[in-house]
Amino acid sequence: MSSNADPNGVRERVRTDGLAEYCAYLFSPFARSDQRRWGEVYVRGLLDASGRKTPARISEHVLGRRASQSLQQFVSQSPWECADVRKRLAEQMLLAADLEAWVVDEVVFPKNGSHSVGVARQYVPTEGRTCNCQLALAVSLTTEEGSVPVNWRLLMPPLWDDDERRRGAARVPQAERHRPRWRHVLDSLDEMVQDWDLKPAPVLADWRHEPDVLPLLEGLEARGLGYLIQISGGAPLLATPSGNGPVMHLAAACDLMHTVGRRSARVTLAWREGVESRTRQSQFLAVQVPAGPGGPAARQAERRFRRPRQLLVEWPAGRPQPRAYWVTNLGSRRLPDLVSTAKLSWRSRYDLGRLREECGLADFEGRSFRGWHHHVTLASAAHGYQVLERLTARRAAGTARRAAGTARRPAPQPMLCAPRSRGAFTGGRRRAGTVN
């Protein structure tokens, strides 16, 4: 059944409210009106339908009847571009909040069968286990008050590269092959900066389970991007002489901390973490990563580094062994600000959990590459509406408090305007300095 089947039924059942305005903006690049209507139906169902968010359950909840074939066709086959929706979602976040970081997260989609695009029995680094799943990377626009994933990459396992039968069944584009994670991250950031024209924020990523952090660091530095990348103590950061002539070996983060950081004093800092804003405390130290010994190799390394690299190290209070390491090129920031930014990754992990539980992130039943990307984009849009409403409500509350404070002063009482109904939508207006 075509996705434009029974369009009048869709129009009659979908109400006009803040969500309708929000969807109209996100889906305005779609070529056909029926695509825009089905997009709103799907997002509304992801937000409101109970249980597993299947096309049948969504259509019954939103339309009062089953239209699962039409809805499934819209998600899995309809030729609309994810990038158009993702870009507009990102712009809405930039308008609603002063973003503090772009956070890269691994996202796991457990699966039972073997036919869904990109599924394989594979090791999940962040969970330390092997399971049958799809693996993806999400880049989330993040502030302390909310986080929304706006760009996605599905990680194709190596065994899918030459399996033409499965690739054909899942309609995998020819260019989609197994690639290292750092390449996916850089491609995502290039799209956001170059194609979407977004103003960058510091890039956060957990690279503790990757064998080599240097390709990612060099790629970020070549693009002039700031970063705070969590690494393992054994991560190689610096080429140093081996003692046998010009041969070089890589010094690990923990070695650098012991040789360079032992002369510096740790600083005890507290920060707030989690939705309950619990206060936590640790000791921290930030030391500059040397550019290496003199000579051509060192000068070449200095050119690659662009901005000096620093190693940020965390110790549990009173403990002799470090708990965490980060490498960063944000050395101009004060140590408390570095720590606050590094710890912001909890927010993206929390919101990805909410996206899974409340907006059906893992509920996609289709098998195609296009369908997977369409679903995660629409789920992100649904979650984004929740976050934008919360941010808008807090901003309105702050404005009301300031207005009330002004009213108590010995001055004429200001005229208060009624707030917009469900004011998450901010249209095409721009806040200076947020979007180029």
The mean per-residue pLDDT over the stretch 258-287 comes to 78
User: For the ranges 45-54, 187-196, 295-304, which has the lowest average pLDDT?
Assistant: 295-304
Q: Rounded to whole angstroms, what are the CA distances from 434 to 98, 218, 246, 362?
A: 8, 26, 47, 31
Show the DSSP H helices in 367-414 as ranges: 369-408
Under DSSP, the state recorded for 223 is T
The per-residue pLDDT for 49 is 94
Report the C-alpha gap between 140 and 347 in whole angstroms: 10
The mean per-residue pLDDT over the stretch 84-102 comes to 96
pLDDT above 50: residue 243:
no
Confidence of residue 274 (pLDDT cuts 50, 70, 90): confident
Mapped onto helix, strand or coil, the DSSP state of residue 410 is: coil
- Output the average pLDDT for the chain: 84
The mean per-residue pLDDT over the stretch 358-382 comes to 97
Q: Are 282 and 316 in contact (CB under 8 A)?
A: yes
Q: Are 317 and 268 in contact (CB under 8 A)?
A: yes
Backbone angles phi, psi at 213, to 5 degrees: -95, -15
Query: Greatest CA separation found in the chain?
Result: 81
Show the DSSP H helices in 227-368 as ranges: 253-260, 296-305, 335-342, 345-358
Show the DSSP H helices in 191-334 as ranges: 214-222, 253-260, 296-305
Q: Are 307 and 331 in contact (CB under 8 A)?
A: yes
Which residues, including other chains, have CB under 8 Å from residue 163's CB and lie 6 or more apart? none
The per-residue pLDDT for 199 is 95
Under DSSP, the state recorded for 412 is P
For 398, the token pair is 């702050």
User: For the ranges 94-103, 123-132, 301-310, which has the lowest average pLDDT?
Assistant: 301-310
pLDDT cut 70: percent of the chain above it: 79
The mean per-residue pLDDT over the stretch 242-266 comes to 56
Which residues, including other chains, have CB under 8 Å from residue 239's CB and lie 6 or more apart? 248, 249, 250, 251, 292, 297, 301
Question: Scanning the structure block, which residue is given the tokens 């012991």?
Answer: 258
For 435, the token pair is 């979007």
pLDDT above 60: residue 3:
no
Question: What is the end-to-end Cα distance of the chain in Å, rounded?
Answer: 42
The per-residue pLDDT for 51 is 93
Report the C-alpha gap between 216 and 332 in whole angstroms: 21
Which residues, including other chains, have CB under 8 Å from residue 403's CB and lie 6 or more apart? 414, 416
Burial status of residue 416 (CB atoms within 10 A of its CB: 0-12, 13-18, 19 or more):
exposed
Cβ neighbours, 10 Å, residue 270:
10
Q: Are 37 and 10 in contact (CB under 8 A)?
A: yes
Indicate left, alpha or beta for 230 from its phi (over 0: left) and psi (-120 to 50: alpha).
beta
Beta strand 278-288 with 310-316: parallel, antiparallel or unpaired?
Answer: antiparallel
The per-residue pLDDT for 257 is 65
Please state the pTM of the whole predicted model.
Answer: 0.84
pLDDT above 70: residue 289:
yes
The mean per-residue pLDDT over the stretch 304-327 comes to 83
Angle (deg, nearest 10), helices 369-408 and 18-26: 130
Cβ neighbours, 10 Å, residue 373:
21
User: For the ranges 232-241, 286-295, 296-305, which has the lowest average pLDDT?
Assistant: 296-305
pLDDT in tens, 383-432: 999 999 999 888 877 777 777 766 555 544 433 333 333 334 444 333 33
